[in-house]
Copies of this chain bind each other. A is one copy, B any other.
């Protein structure tokens, strides 16, 4: 794993996903301090909140860190300008076309990585001029691609489609999984679930503890008629599921979803009525309890080293 560590100037090719309601300055700086790449998650922050997190993150680490910006962000012009003004050197973009902003960011000397769910989107990202892609599979938590391609099938396809370095995401929570996706051609990994459940994550403790006791099958990709998202099964998702099974259309689902469901669940800890976004890999973490980022990074690197073939 080489082009990725060089691109970001980091020790381990381990990127922490810039997740809504989890990825503030505490998490990002802890991951960067431990040798990975921490990302602030702009998706759940107002521009001024993000500015504050950028400044606090810079105080908390001397190491490189970045920002993840969903391209459907409402005040996208404002937040891009602010990120550039604050001297951010690494931007991950997701959930939208990389055509518009990649050039703008690159002109300012910013390293750009785009998140894709297919080799078709990977080729578009390469054409737009990004420096690397994150290829994220079906097993990932939260918002997800429509193709439903799993990480095992997606990584080789994307590696074949582009010459850029590929960062694998979705289902990666252990050192063995890092080794496995490296075998498939990835040069780095983006890990969401495992870091979302650490002590430094800004998610509610109740959310973390619930996710740390999930079994296989307890998350499901839902809301496919709006934007597909992987959610933990709870009272809210059961309601969505019943509506979907009965043929509910977009409007009905949008009304059911309402506003602020992810905040309610993940940040405020309402486990019944909130939207709980986490990946399938959560079921591999049962019994681990809430760990620190340093503990997680140590386990990942130890397992990775022990899994050499």
Task: Give A residues with C-beta under 8 Å from B.
Answer: 118-120, 137-139, 146-154, 156-157, 160, 170-172, 174, 176-177, 179-185, 215-217, 220-221, 225, 245-248, 280-281, 283-284, 307-309
Which of B118, B151, B280, B308 has a CB less than 8 Å from the CB of A149?
B280
11 other A-B residue contacts (CB within 8 Å) besides A177-B184, A180-B183: A120-B215, A146-B217, A150-B150, A152-B171, A152-B172, A152-B180, A152-B181, A156-B176, A156-B284, A183-B183, A225-B245
Give the 5 A-B CB pairs with smallest separation, nearest first. A247-B247, A147-B217, A152-B171, A150-B150, A180-B180
Task: Provide the residues of chain B in CB contact with A221, threshold 8 Å.
Answer: 148
A151-B152 Cα distance, complex, nearest whole Å: 7
Task: Provide the residues of chain B in CB contact with A146, threshold 8 Å.
Answer: 217
Contact A284/B153 with A245-B247, A247-B246 known, Cβ cut-off 8 Å: yes
By the criterion CB–CB under 8 Å, are B148 and A171 in contact? no
Shortest beta-carbon distance from A88 to chain B in Å: 31
By the criterion CB–CB under 8 Å, are A138 and B150 in contact? yes
Q: Which residue of B lies closest to A151 (CB)?
A: B152
Contact A217/B148 with A176-B185, A180-B183 known, Cβ cut-off 8 Å: yes
By the criterion CB–CB under 8 Å, are B245 and A309 in contact? no
Task: Provide the residues of chain B in CB contact with A307, threshold 8 Å.
Answer: 183
By the criterion CB–CB under 8 Å, are B153 and A216 in contact? yes
Shortest beta-carbon distance from A121 to chain B in Å: 10
Residue of A170, A174, A176, A182 with most partner-chain B CB within 10 A: A176
A215-B147 Cα distance, complex, nearest whole Å: 10
